[in-house]
Amino acid sequence: MQITFAASADSSTPRLVARIVDQEALPADLSRSDSEGAAAARFTGKTGQLFESFAERDGRVVRQVLVGAGKADAEGRRAALEKAGAALASRYMASGEKALALDVSGGNLDAAEVAAVLTGLRLRTWRYDRYRTKLKDEQKVTLAEAVVIAAPEGTPAAWEVEQAVAAGVELTRELVAEPANVIYPESFVERVSERLEGTGAEIVVLDEKQMRELGMGALLGVSQGSARDARLLCIKWMGGESSAAPTVFVGKGVTFDTGGISLKPPAGMEDMKWDMGGAGAVAGAMLALAGRKAKANVIGVCGLVENMPDGNAMRPGDIVTTMSGQTVEVINTDAEGRLVLCDALWWAQKEFKPAAIVDLATLTGAMVVALGHENAGMFSNDDKLADNLIKAGKESGDKLWRFPLSAEYDKLLDSPIADMKNVGPRYAGSITAAQYLQRFIVEGTAWAHLDIAGMAWADKAGATWGKGATGFGVRLIDRYVRDVLEG
C-alpha cells in the first residue's frame, strides 16, 4: 500500500473518498441526502461501521464513504482507529478500486490517529498470494494507493514510524503463513536476516554444534528427530542508553510440530506450520523496532526447531539435561515448546542479564480452550511487568488476560526420576506449562510468558487481518517498548 499526502483535493484525487467519523458526531457539512441516508441506514459511527453514497462534485461522480471510529474518548482509541482503517480496506481492497482518498479535513483526528487509520488500512489489505497462481482478476487485491487529504501537521512523520511497525507485522504474517517445507530453522534465519539487512540490527546465530557445547539438551532433544538442523537466532537492537540492561523477547519457533513420537492426530495437523508464531512475532517486532529506530535496548531470541518422529527421535521417558543443569523427564514429546523455550530462556538470561524477559509461544491447546481467539494468556512473576503488558495489549489491540502461578501448580511437575516432568496432569495445562518455564527463570528476573496459541492464526477475518496469519504480538511488543522503555 503506497501512502501519499496532499494539502487539498483536486482533479487527480481518487474517486473513492473516505472520511473517519466519531460515534454520535457526524460531520456538520453532510448533504441532506447523506445525513438522512446515514440515519436511514442506522449509521452512527460505531467502530468499523461504513456508510457509502455517491455524489456529483465538480462534474465528477465521487464514491463517498463514512467510516465509524467509535467514541472519541473511548479506551483503546488507537485500536479502534486501526479497525476503522481496516473496515475500509476490507470493503474496497478487491473492489476494483485502485486508490482511495482519506479526507481528514474534518479535524477530528491528530497525526498519530491518522497514522493509526493508515496502519489498519495497510494491514487489512495484506494477503499472501505467492502460491495462488490461478487467481482471477476479480479475486485479486486492487487497492494499492491511498492519498491523505489535509492531514494534520506531523502526519507523514507519524506514518514513517507506523509503517515500520506495519512492515514488522507483515514479516511475521509471512513467516507464519509459509509452509514448513519453505520455512524451517535455517530458512527462517535466512529470511529474517535478509529483511533486517541495512536496519542496523545485529544478528547472532547459534548452530547445533554451538548449542551442544552450551548444553542445550532440551532444545536439541526436540530437534533430534528432524532432518533439519536447529538454530538459535538472536537479533539485537541497542538503540537506548548503553548502560541500560536490555529487555529480551524470546519466541517459540517450532517450524513444524508433528508431536514427535507422541504423534498428533492427522486432522488439522497442517495448522502446526504456525507453531513458530512466537518466534515470528519476535522477529517481526525486531524489524519494527529497528525500522523505526527505537530508543531502547531490545533483544529478540528465537528458538528454532522442527519436531518430527524418526528413528533418531526423542522417546517418551527419555531424560534430557537442560543448559541450566536441571534434568527433565520427557513424558510427552508433543510438549516440545517448553523444552525449546527453557534452553532459549536460560541462554538469554545468562548472556544478557535482562531488565525483563518476555516469551511468546503457541504453547498449549488448553489456552485456546480457555480464551478462544480474543486474548492471549499471560503469566508473570512481576505485577508491574504484567500491568504494563496488559496496558500495551489494550492500546495495541493485541489483548492479554492474566492467569495465576503458584507452588501448588508447580508441584504437579515433580518427577520420581528427574528434576521435573515436561507435562503435568490433564487439567490446568496452560498453567503447568507456564510453571515449567518459571523453573528456568533466574531468581529476581522479571518475566512474563504469553501463550498465543489462540492468536497467531485466524480461521476467519478479524479486526485488522484476513483469514490466516494475524501478526499477533508485534504491535504489543512495539507498544510496550514505546510506552515503558521509551516513554
Show the site string, 228-257: x = touches Zn ion by CB under 5 A, - = not: --------------------------x--x
| Nearest residue (CB) to ligand BES, 50 versus 368 | 368
For residues 454 and 373, is the Cβ–Cβ distance under 8 A? yes
Query: Under the rule (CB under 6 A), what is the footprint of ligand BES?
Result: 257, 275, 332, 334-337, 362-366, 368, 423, 429, 453
Rounded to whole angstroms, the Cα distance separating 310 from 315 reads: 10
Nearer to ligand BES (CB atom), residue 200 or residue 425:
425
The option from Zn ion, ligand BES, Mn ion, none interacting with 162 (CB < 5 to 8 A, set by class) reads none
Distance CA 472, CA 121 (A): 16
Residue nearest to Mn ion (CB): 334
Residues 329, 417: contact at Cβ < 8 Å?
Answer: yes
Cα gap 233→284, rounded to integer Å: 13
Least distance to Mn ion, CB of residue 262, Å: 8
Instruction: Pick out residues in 273-312 that bind Mn ion (CB under 5 A).
Output: none
**Contact map string, positions 269 to 298, toward Zn ion, x by CB under 5 A:** ------x-----------------------
Partner interacting with residue 27 (select from Mn ion, Zn ion, ligand BES, none; CB below 5-8 Å by kind)? none
Q: What DSSP element (H or E) covers 389?
A: helix 383-396
User: Which residue's C-beta sits nearest to ligand BES?
Assistant: 365
| Residue 451 interacting with Mn ion (CB under 5 A) | no
Residue 334 touches Mn ion, criterion: CB under 5 A:
yes
**Spatial CA neighbour of 479 closest among 228, 292, 335:** 292
CA distance 320 to 308: 17
Q: Min. distance of Cβ 338 from Mn ion in angstroms?
A: 9
Active-site residue among 173, 195, 338, 482? 338
CB of 122 closer than 8 Å to CB of 163: yes
Provide the minimum distance between the beta carbon of 12 and Zn ion in the complex, in angstroms, as a whole number. Answer: 51
Residue 111 vs residues 11, 161, 202: alpha-carbon distances, Å = 25, 11, 32
**368 vs 461, beta carbon nearer ligand BES:** 368
Catalytic residue selected from 212, 264, 391, 394: 264
| Shortest distance (Å) from residue 206 CB to Mn ion | 22
| Residue 86 CB partners (closer than 8 Å, separation 6+) | 48, 120, 121, 123, 124, 463, 464
402 is a catalytic site residue: no
What distance in Å separates the CA atoms of residue 248 and residue 265, rounded to the nearest whole number?
35
Count the Cβ atoms, other than its own, within 10 Å of residue 349: 19
Nearer Cβ to ligand BES (17/276): 276
**What is the grid cell recorded at 215?**
548444553
How far does the chain reach from its first CA to its final CA, in angstroms?
A: 29
Helix (H) or strand (E) holding 251: strand 247-257
Q: Does 257 bind Mn ion (CB under 5 A)?
A: yes
- Min dist CB 471 to Zn ion, Å, is 19
CB-nearer residue toward ligand BES: 155 or 362: 362
Q: Which three cell numbers stand for residue 59?
A: 462534474
Examine the residue annotation and report whether 338 is marked as an active-site residue of this protein.
yes
The residues annotated as belonging to the active site are 264, 338
Q: Which residues bind Zn ion (CB under 5 A)?
A: 254, 257, 275, 337
Q: Which residues bind Mn ion (CB under 5 A)?
A: 257, 334, 336
